[in-house]
Amino acid sequence: MKNYDARQLAHAALQIADAGRDLAVRGWTPATSSNFSVRLDDAHAAITISGRDKGNLGADDVMVVDLHGKAVDTDARPSAETLLHTQIYARYADAGAVLHTHSHNQTVASRLWAKAGAIRFEGWELLKAISGTPTHETVIILPVFPNTQDMPALVKQVDAYIDSGTPLHGYLIDGHGIYTWGRDMAETRRHLEAFEFLLACELDLRRLNR
Amino acid sequence: MKNYDARQLAHAALQIADAGRDLAVRGWTPATSSNFSVRLDDAHAAITISGRDKGNLGADDVMVVDLHGKAVDTDARPSAETLLHTQIYARYADAGAVLHTHSHNQTVASRLWAKAGAIRFEGWELLKAISGTPTHETVIILPVFPNTQDMPALVKQVDAYIDSGTPLHGYLIDGHGIYTWGRDMAETRRHLEAFEFLLACELDLRRLNR
Amino acid sequence: MKNYDARQLAHAALQIADAGRDLAVRGWTPATSSNFSVRLDDAHAAITISGRDKGNLGADDVMVVDLHGKAVDTDARPSAETLLHTQIYARYADAGAVLHTHSHNQTVASRLWAKAGAIRFEGWELLKAISGTPTHETVIILPVFPNTQDMPALVKQVDAYIDSGTPLHGYLIDGHGIYTWGRDMAETRRHLEAFEFLLACELDLRRLNR
Amino acid sequence: MKNYDARQLAHAALQIADAGRDLAVRGWTPATSSNFSVRLDDAHAAITISGRDKGNLGADDVMVVDLHGKAVDTDARPSAETLLHTQIYARYADAGAVLHTHSHNQTVASRLWAKAGAIRFEGWELLKAISGTPTHETVIILPVFPNTQDMPALVKQVDAYIDSGTPLHGYLIDGHGIYTWGRDMAETRRHLEAFEFLLACELDLRRLNR
């Protein structure tokens, strides 16, 4: 069995707690929803334990899983959505952190664009905050997948999307919230902040333009 | 006369003050509105005294009532809505705390759905935050009762609803705010946070979809 | 010349600074707008000096005026709207504090209801937060006066309204913000919080019901 | 080569860090967007270095440029939009600070009024917060320029507008945010706060009046 580095775990737990505190203050993690993870190496990730208050995380609220979502060295129960985190680490070798939050805008937008299956962002300067987007003229697509309690089914949907070759920087689940990732926690938080901002703008344009 | 446990009262007062501080910061207790209670035993509850600033509660702002809403060992005046708290403890043996708040979303939603008599939540992942709701596919009904200053009349309405056998996790009063409860203060706060989030989402869908 | 009590002035300045800090954090005093006062006796009031940052007031930012709005014992320039404060102290013997703020909701509502000349609040439980309102069934009228830089003209409009005998708990000026008062600073802050809440609710009902 | 004053630079960096902290807390600088500058003398300005977190700026996050936007005494890369800052110092001899932020309201308004090419503010008391505006009866025009990654092209558009002689207190770029300035940082922050407030009001009137 391949082992993870305990110091890296401690560092990951700090990054997760720090992100949780900040995101909870913004109201993006209501009622113990949301989960956060950081890659430890090419076979392990640190992830939040199910049901904890995301605004007040400590080292005891983070556990290790392998990239199949199995708990490592612990009896704790990982978040129900662990497979959606480990899928990103398995599919994207350069992904270093994954954030799943549940803000008002993310949730409302997921319902509104569920039928269309995706939101198309265009003409926003803040698109440049998504890595690999050199100008505001780029179009970014954020898919919306149907919600289900059957995690393997959800994983399959995301796999099929990745296999289709369309660039993917994050996705919504209908009625549920967003998943996004980046090379490290700083980039992932920037991506999350950018998507939240863009969703809020698109929702408001719709309120104003109907 | 059956007595309550003074240490339990002190603990309940701390939980109430803590909840009040957090809910006041969110703006859910405007202009000294709102009231909070914690069950002490099968015959007593601790409840906020009428008219106090809910963001700055101390032990002196909490009093004991029996489950008929009568003050115990004090001349303080309990909140006008005390009967709505004690009713919950009397009807639900496992209810350990009751929160009544008065947020913008709760109040506006109560006016909008007053005629319909209830709000129907469906398709939201956060429904799982309500205890006994295993999946997001469950439907949860939040009734809206007409407002009246005649507390026994309000109590009767709620009693009739409970007697009808429909599961009840909370309710709105028209123009007034929400009541919700749970096994303990932590679960009750999670229920309150979930209902507030769901109300905000339903209101926004209505703004966006008209 | 009748003198004011220096200790009362010091106490009034503290109350004003405390209110300012709280109201600025809420965003109700943008860009050095707003002004606050406290009655000292039947001939004097303490009021904020013009142009100061309302979130960071000290004793030096408060001055004394007589009830004709003239500066007392100082060369400082009182706020341009001082006459609207002293008018309240002159007309209502039990008024102990006046708050004028400039929140988003107050300003937008003043524009929307300027033509109607008043906003009519009915059916809101929070109406009970306005002193002298025993039940939520009372109707409260908040008049909206046209804006003008001619203060004596504004004062005349308010005088005429008071002379008409309609109960007055506060008023809006078109494009400008709210004035409200109470027996002391605590009651005045409760009135301000209640009006802000009610305006936000009425605006949102209009967004939702059109 | 003319030199700048190191003490003035240190002071400018403090003012920029202070503004950044405050504006980031309000959510006006999402995802490392926005940039801030302060004039040092008639040939130099201090400006934020590209890509830094605007809520947590230190002396190392600020650099010196000349009024052609060239870095002075440093290898750091100035913000891509540096030319828009230095243009203001070159064209307005009394401009002492420039703030570019990226709030939700600024961004949404820029999209809505992009076709019209400008927003016209009228009837708002807060217009008096813009220097040189004696009464609320003044009309203030905030132009909206098309967005482009070609900075010299953007600079040309602004130059043409200034050359036209219409008074200019700030401008929006489509999908991008606002630029505003003033004699010093305090006046510039007051202008920014006033424009944000006015944009929020105009957007809301549009939501309410459609």
| Section B74-80 average pLDDT | 85
CA B197 to chain centroid, in Å, comes to: 15
Closest-CA distance of chain D to residue C52, Å? 11
- Residue B95 neighbours by CB under 8 Å, 6+ apart: B39, B88, B89, B181, B182, B183
Where is pLDDT greater, at C115 or D138?
C115
Residue B1 has pLDDT above 70, yes or no: no
- Among the listed residues D208, D91, D200, D194, the one whose alpha carbon sits nearest the alpha carbon of residue D138: D194
pLDDT of residue A133: 75
Residue D179 has pLDDT above 60, yes or no: yes
Where is pLDDT greater, at B186 or C80?
B186
pLDDT of residue B136: 67
Closest-CA distance of chain A to residue D110, Å? 10
Closest-CA distance of chain C to residue B11, Å? 29
Q: Is the dihedral of CA B165, B168, B174, B179 positive or negative?
A: positive
Query: What number of C-beta contacts closer than 8 Å exist between A and D?
Result: 61
Residue C210 has pLDDT above 70, yes or no: no
- Residue D87 neighbours by CB under 8 Å, 6+ apart: D155, D158, D159
With CB atoms and an 8 Å threshold, state whether B123 touches A173.
no
D1 within a domain of the structure (yes/no): no
Q: Any idea what the CATH number is for the domain that residue A198 is in?
A: 3.40.225.10
Q: Give the percent of chain D with pLDDT over 90.
A: 85
A126 within a domain of the structure (yes/no): yes
With CB atoms and an 8 Å threshold, state whether B205 touches A112.
yes
- Among the listed residues D114, D117, D135, the one whose alpha carbon sits nearest the alpha carbon of residue D126: D135
pLDDT of residue B33: 87
A1 within a domain of the structure (yes/no): no
Q: Is the CB of C30 inside 8 Å of chain D's CB atoms? A: yes
B68 is in an annotated binding site: no
Given D123, D190, D210, which is nearest C31 (Cβ)? D190
- Among the listed residues B91, B32, C41, C108, the one whose alpha carbon sits nearest the alpha carbon of residue D207: C108
ipTM of the assembly? 0.93
- Residue C157 neighbours by CB under 8 Å, 6+ apart: C145, C146
Model pLDDT for residues C171-180, shown as the tens digit of each residue: 999 999 999 9
With CB atoms and an 8 Å threshold, state whether A149 touches B135.
yes
Model pLDDT for residues D26-38, shown as the tens digit of each residue: 999 998 889 999 9
| Section D65-76 average pLDDT | 94
Closest-CA distance of chain D to residue C206, Å? 7
Residue D1 has pLDDT above 60, yes or no: no
Model pLDDT for residues C138-181, shown as the tens digit of each residue: 899 999 999 998 999 999 999 999 999 989 999 999 999 999 99
From chain A, pick out residues whose CB is under 8 angstroms from the CB of B196: 30
Where is pLDDT greater, at B27 or B53?
B27
pLDDT of residue D20: 96
Residue B197 has pLDDT above 90, yes or no: yes
Q: Please state, in angstroms and rounded to a whole number, the distance separating the CA atoms of residues B148 and B173.
A: 9
From chain A, pick out residues whose CB is under 8 angstroms from the CB of D30: 126, 129, 193-194, 196-197
Closest-CA distance of chain D to residue C177, Å? 9
pLDDT of residue B21: 96
Given B30, B149, B203, which is nearest C197 (Cβ)? B30
Kindly identify which residue of chain D lies nearest to residue C203, measuring between CA atoms.
D208
User: Which residues of D belong to the annotated binding site for Zn(2+)?
Assistant: 100, 102
Domains: count for chain B? 1
Question: For residue B86, what are its two tokens?
Answer: 């004690």
Q: Please state, in angstroms and rounded to a whole number, the distance separating the CA atoms of residues A163 and A147.
A: 20
The mean of the pLDDT values for chain B is: 94
From chain C, pick out residues whose CB is under 8 angstroms from the CB of D123: 111, 147, 174-175
C101 within a domain of the structure (yes/no): yes
Kindly identify which residue of chain D lies nearest to residue A26, measuring between CA atoms.
D27
Q: Please state, in angstroms and rounded to a whole number, the distance separating the CA atoms of residues A44 and A38.
A: 9
pTM for the full predicted model = 0.95
Model pLDDT for residues C42-85, shown as the tens digit of each residue: 999 999 998 888 999 999 999 999 999 999 999 998 887 999 99
With CB atoms and an 8 Å threshold, state whether D210 touches A205.
no
The model's confidence at residue A136, banded by pLDDT at 50, 70 and 90, is low
Model pLDDT for residues D40-70, shown as the tens digit of each residue: 999 999 999 988 889 999 999 999 999 999 9
Residue A135 has pLDDT above 80, yes or no: no
Q: Is the CB of B32 inside 8 Å of chain C's CB atoms? A: yes
With CB atoms and an 8 Å threshold, state whether B112 touches C193.
no
Q: Is the CB of A203 inside 8 Å of chain D's CB atoms? A: no
Q: Is the CB of A42 inside 8 Å of chain D's CB atoms? A: no
Kindly identify which residue of chain B lies nearest to residue A177, measuring between CA atoms.
B125
Least confident of A157-161, C116-120, D165-169: D165-169
3-state helix, strand, coil in chain C (%, to 5): 40, 20, 35
- Among the listed residues B12, B204, B199, B10, the one whose alpha carbon sits nearest the alpha carbon of residue B97: B12
Work out whether strand B140-145 and strand C44-48 pair parallel, antiparallel, or are unpaired. unpaired
pLDDT of residue C85: 98
Q: Please state, in angstroms and rounded to a whole number, the distance separating the CA atoms of residues C158 and B119.
A: 43
With CB atoms and an 8 Å threshold, state whether A30 touches B193.
yes
pLDDT of residue B123: 93
Query: What number of C-beta contacts closer than 8 Å exist between A and B?
Result: 61
Model pLDDT for residues B137-177, shown as the tens digit of each residue: 789 999 999 999 899 999 999 999 999 998 999 999 999 99
Work out whether strand D140-145 and strand D118-121 pair parallel, antiparallel, or are unpaired. antiparallel
A157 within a domain of the structure (yes/no): yes
Residues C87, C158: contact at Cβ < 8 Å? yes
Q: Is the CB of A206 inside 8 Å of chain D's CB atoms? A: no
B13 within a domain of the structure (yes/no): yes
Q: In what order do the strands lie in the sheet with D177-182?
A: D71-72, D62-66, D44-48, D35-39, D97-101, D177-182, D170-173, D140-145, D118-121
H or E stretch at A144: strand A140-145
Show which subunits contact C, needing at least 3 CB pairs below 8 angstroms: B, D
Closest-CA distance of chain A to residue B127, Å? 10
* A:103-142 residues touching chain D, CB 8 A cutoff: 123-126, 129, 135-137
With CB atoms and an 8 Å threshold, state whether B112 touches C209.
yes
Model pLDDT for residues A12-66, shown as the tens digit of each residue: 999 999 999 999 999 999 988 899 999 999 999 999 998 888 999 999 999 999 9
With CB atoms and an 8 Å threshold, state whether D209 touches C112.
yes
Given A125, A196, A208, which is nearest D207 (Cβ)? A208
- Among the listed residues A54, A96, A91, the one whose alpha carbon sits nearest the alpha carbon of residue A185: A96
Q: Please state, in angstroms and rounded to a whole number, the distance separating the CA atoms of residues B199 and B28.
A: 13
Residue D135 has pLDDT above 80, yes or no: no
D186 within a domain of the structure (yes/no): yes
Give the C-alpha distances (Å, rounded to integers) separating A141 from A119, A127, A161, A167, B63: 6, 11, 12, 8, 56
pLDDT of residue A105: 98
Specify the amino acid at residue A185. M
The model's confidence at residue D82, banded by pLDDT at 50, 70 and 90, is very high
Question: For residue A20, what are its two tokens?
Answer: 């949780």
The model's confidence at residue B2, banded by pLDDT at 50, 70 and 90, is low
pLDDT of residue A210: 63
From chain A, pick out residues whose CB is under 8 angstroms from the CB of B204: 104, 108, 203
Look up the domain containing C195 and give its range. 6-208
Given A31, A176, A177, which is nearest B129 (Cβ)? A31
A164 within a domain of the structure (yes/no): yes
Specify the amino acid at residue D148. T
Q: Is the dihedral of CA C59, C61, C65, C70 positive or negative?
A: positive
- Residue A205 neighbours by CB under 8 Å, 6+ apart: D108, D111, D112
pLDDT of residue C51: 83
Residue C88 has pLDDT above 90, yes or no: yes
